[in-house]
Chain A
Amino acid sequence: MFEFLGIPPQALFGQLLLGLINGSFYALLSLGLAVIFGMLNVVNMAHGAFYMIGAFVAWLLLAHAGIGYWWALVLAPLAVGALGLVLERTMLRRLYKVDHLYGLLLTFGLALIFEGAFRHQFGVSGQPYPTPELLRGGSNLGFMVLPVYRGWVVVFSAMVCLGTWFAIERTRLGAYLRAATENPVLVQAFGINVPVMVSLTYGFGVALAGLAGVLAAPIYQVNPLMGSNLIIVVFAVVVIGGMGSILGAIVTGLSLGLLEGLTKLLYPEAANIVVFVIMAVVLVIKPAGLFGRER
């Protein structure tokens, strides 16, 4: 067996897998943030709360209605998306004409309210969510044992990311979205109902966060603060990738997850800050982010 910088391969692949899992969540979450920022110019601070709500909807469905993981994978994102639609229509919409900062503050406030309400209702101890029957156990890849559920999370989120990228970059609907991101007034003057598109975009972006929440439920505990722990790193990912860049969000999310995993092996003390160090470096060298366009 080979070794990498004196690290046994079991540990190496174990950490890389962990990094890949984290990276998958970073990618899913920063993708939603990027789509929302591109179209609405809103820095959606409530994104972590929507992720947490997605996980809770899955848990509530199971605990109170006996509805399992596979249905939750569909229903929870729909519920979170619907909640997003309502919030966009009733609140966010009023802020497009004023400085971006107001959208950020509103969504930050919403995040605090959601997290507070869930904490009040469910406490902070966290609820376990069982791994679905079909995805239990592990499979031996020769160099390591891969827990099936974790493999599923990586593959499924990669598929969702690629599907989203394809829909935005290669379809007609995506062309509307890109055009409206650039010049909403003109797109409207071609007969496209931009306000409805904006609402749906927000709904879709937060639904992605809800989906990530369901995926996370069997891995982490379902807990009211699960989103706020993650979201700060995700914002760093978005800044590194470039605000509003779809591909940037996906690629940066996955690679920073991996990098974090590697750092845990090489210099564990730095694992929690490596993303922020990279963010600082990127901001100095290329302020628009690795994939961002200068505005």
Chain B
Amino acid sequence: MLEIADLHGFYGESHVLHGVSLEVRRGEVVTLLGRNGAGKTTTMRAIMGILPKRTGAIRFRGAELVGMAPHRIPRLGIGYVPEERGIFASLSVDENLTLPPVVRDGGMTVEQIHALFPNLKGRGATQGTRLSGGEQQMLAIARVLRTGADLILLDEPTEGLAPVIIEQIGVAVRALKERGFTIVLVEQNFRFAATIADRHYVMEAGRVVDMIPNHRLHASMDKLHDYLGV
């Protein structure tokens, strides 16, 4: 569904991605693991066309995303949940939820989204940024489910959240997987990642250095500890 080959990315003069290659198949949950600064978030930003300069190939359902105008990329059916969550302070919860335009058929209804994230129910008129951190994360995920996007890029959904909230997010992400969403997940917390993902790509210094299927994760613990420095 998504193939990235020899992707290079630049922030101004600094070269931050050095030939990233990976592949995500339909219906898979794939994580990008790695230390801070390894290029995980940058890879996501490159997919969405937010990174100002990129070369190489990013193919989504056969369409080449490198060189495509940034507002066209999500219209192919890619939903982006940024690391900083990006809840708009000047919009209510409902306005935040319905902001991204519907780009394809088959998106979830607001009722289905409320069933998935009961915390958001009845909060529609609240200012978006008055929600708790966990609720803002739920809103950031909920927001892209309406649009019909079937590939979702989730950047560190558990960052800074309490274990009980992480649990809730995990339940939701598994529910999304069962609904057939394809998910690329950036995670520092690989215990969380291990409960959801099919495969893990390990990134280091702007490259993918390893791919570990989830069933081999336990056997690869030592290697992983080296990679992540935990």
Contact = CB atoms under 8 A, between A and B. Distances in A.
Nearest to A174: B95
A144 to B, nearest CB: 41
Contact of A179 (B75, B82, B91): B91
Nearest to A196: B71
B107 interface: no
Contact of B86 (A172, A183, A192, A194): A183
Interface of B: 48-50, 69-75, 80, 82, 86, 88-91, 95, 98-101, 103, 144, 147
7 contacts: A175-B98, A181-B90, A186-B82, A189-B82, A191-B75, A191-B101, A192-B71
Contacts of B88: 178-179, 182-183
Give the interface residue-count category, chain A: 10 to 19
A188 interface: yes
Give the one of B48, B50, B70, B90 with max A CB within 10 A: B90
Contacts of A187: 99
Contacts of A178: 88, 90-91
Contacts of A179: 88, 90-91, 99
A108 interface: no
A190 interface: yes
Contacts of A176: 99
A68 B95 CA distance: 42
A185 interface: yes
A193 interface: yes
Interface of A: 172, 175-176, 178-179, 181-183, 185-194
B71 A194 contact: yes
Contacts of A185: 50
Nearest to B103: A191
Contact of A188 (B70, B95, B98): B70
Contacts of A186: 80, 82, 86
Given A178-B90, A190-B99, A190-B100, 5 more contacts: A175-B91, A190-B80, A190-B101, A191-B71, A191-B147
Given A179-B99, A186-B82, A191 B74 contact: yes
Contacts of B101: 190-192
Contacts of B69: 193
Contacts of B72: 191
Nearest to A191: B74
Contacts of B144: 190
B15 to A, nearest CB: 20
B79 to A, nearest CB: 8
Query: 6 closest pairs, A vs B, by CB?
Result: A190-B100, A191-B74, A178-B90, A186-B86, A191-B75, A193-B71
B50 A182 contact: no
A194 B95 CA distance: 18
Contacts of A189: 48-50, 70, 73-74, 80, 82
Contacts of A194: 71
Contact of B95 (A175, A183, A193): A175
Contacts of A172: 98
Contacts of B89: 182
Nearest to A179: B88
A185 B88 CA distance: 12
Nearest to B140: A186
Given A176-B99, A179-B99, A188 B71 contact: yes
Contacts of A193: 69, 71
